[in-house]
Amino acid sequence: MPKGYIIGHIVVNDPEGYKAYVTGDTPILKAHGARFLVRGGKSEAPEGDVPEGQRHVVFEFDSFEAAKAAYEDPAYQEISLIRKATAESTIILVEGHTDV
């Protein structure tokens, strides 16, 4: 079964306020089996345009369904209001590739 991923591209406008989101979302996502592959850190775009200060996150789950369930969890949706108030973000749910 292919893995599932939540991929986020985030520009934080209020770093202090955003910390509450990171603290709050971590236990919720981990309860759904998330593995944090990328969470901020250094990045560069050798091709294309990326807004200055944009963070990138990649969370891996056992399946696309598990990633979707984590995103749709009412507790996550509640804590995501902090992210929406403190940052501009694009969140993408993606199914991984399986070699045949």
- Rounded to whole angstroms, the Cα distance separating 71 from 1 reads 19
Q: pTM for the complete prediction?
A: 0.90
Once rounded to an integer, what is the mean pLDDT over residues 75-87? 97
Mean residue pLDDT across the chain: 94
Domains in the chain with CATH codes: 4-95 (3.30.70.100)
Complete edge-to-edge strand list for the sheet that includes strand 35-39: 35-39, 54-61, 4-12, 87-95
Place 52 in a pLDDT band, splitting at 50, 70 and 90.
confident
Once rounded to an integer, what is the mean pLDDT over residues 21-26? 95
With 0-12 CB in 10 A as exposed, 13-18 as middle and 19+ as buried, what is 60?
middle
- Rounded to whole angstroms, the Cα distance separating 24 from 17 reads 12
